[in-house]
Amino acid sequence: MNDMNEMNDIVFLLDVDNTLLDNDQITTDLHGHLERQFGAASAQRYWVIFEHLRQERGYADYLGALQRYRLEAEQDIEDDARLLQMSSFLIDYPFANRLYPQALEVVKHLSTLGPTVILSDGDVVFQPHKVLRSGLWAAVEGRVLIYIHKEQRLDAVQRHFPARHYVVVDDKLRLLAEMKSILQERLTSVFPRQGHYAMDSTQAERYPPADISVEHIGDLMQFQAADFLEKKL
C-alpha cells in the first residue's frame, strides 16, 4: 500500500464483511463444516469461544478461536489431523465466490469518482488474506487498511489518504455514527442493508440513520460524486 500525498476531493472508505463480501454465508459454511467434522456439540463450543474472543479482542478471530478450541479440547492424533484440515478450510475458502453481486463493479465505478480504500476491522493474518483472496485487494490497487477498531484510527486514515471529503460504506450503523461524530460534515455515511447487523432492528433504534441507505451494494452503481456530497437520503 502506498500513501497518497496529494489532497483528494473525495475518498471512498469501504468495509468488507457484509458490505462487499457475504460474511454471513461464510460463517454458515464454516458452521456446517465444523458440524460434519466434529459434531454439533464441538461446533457449538467453537462458536462460544469465537464470541468470547470477539468480545475480548474487538474483532472476529476465526483462527484464534480455532487455536483456543484446540488448547481446551482433549486431543488425539485423529483430532489433530481434523483440526489441521479445518485450518485449511479457512485458508483455502473461495472468498471470491462470496462477493455480493456487482461488488467489484461498484469498486470500479467508485474509483472513477475518487480513490477507493478498503477500511476493515480484523486480525493481522486472516483478514488481509480474505481481502486478498476475494479479489478486493487488487480491486483497490492495494489501498487496504485493517485495524482492530477502525473508528478509532481515523487520524491514521486521513494521514494515509488525505481528502476534503470522505464517504464511508459500512453495514454497521454504530460505526457509521461514531465516524460521523468525528469527521462530521466532512463525511457521508452510506448504509447497505445487508447481513445480520444491518437487519438488527435494535441498531436502528439506538443509532441515527445514515446519510444514504441502499438495499444492496450494487445500488451504488447509480451514484455519482454529487449524490454523496449532497448526502441524499
61 shares its domain with 84 = yes
Is 104 among the domain residues? yes
Q: Do 30 and 48 lie in a common domain?
A: yes
The 10s digit of each residue's pLDDT in 84-143 is 677 788 889 999 999 999 999 999 999 999 999 999 998 888 999 999 999 999 999 999
Q: What CATH number does residue 28 fall under? A: 1.10.286.50
| Least confident window among 43-52, 103-112, 187-196 | 43-52
Which CATH number goes with the domain that contains 171?
3.40.50.1000
Same-domain status, 195 and 82: no
Assess whether 68 and 157 both reside in one domain: no
If asked whether residues 135 and 206 sit together in one domain, one would say: yes
Residue 33: give the domain boundaries: 24-95
Q: Any idea which residue has 486478498 for its cell? A: 132
Partners of residue 192 on adjacent β-strands? 214
Is the domain of 122 the same as that of 87? no
**pLDDT tens column, 170-182:** 999 999 999 999 9
Pair 140, 207 in one domain: yes
SS3 161: coil
Q: Is residue 113 part of a domain?
A: yes
Looking at the fold, whether 128 and 168 belong to one and the same domain comes out as yes
* Total domain count, the chain: 2
pLDDT higher than threshold 60 for residue 78: no
User: φ, ψ for residue 191 (rounded to 5)?
Assistant: -120, 105
Q: What is the mean pLDDT of the chain?
A: 89
Residue 2 forms part of a structural domain: no
Does a structural domain hold residue 89? yes
- Phi, psi (rounded to 5 degrees) for 121: -85, 155
Q: What is the pTM of this model?
A: 0.90
Same structural domain, 118 and 211: yes
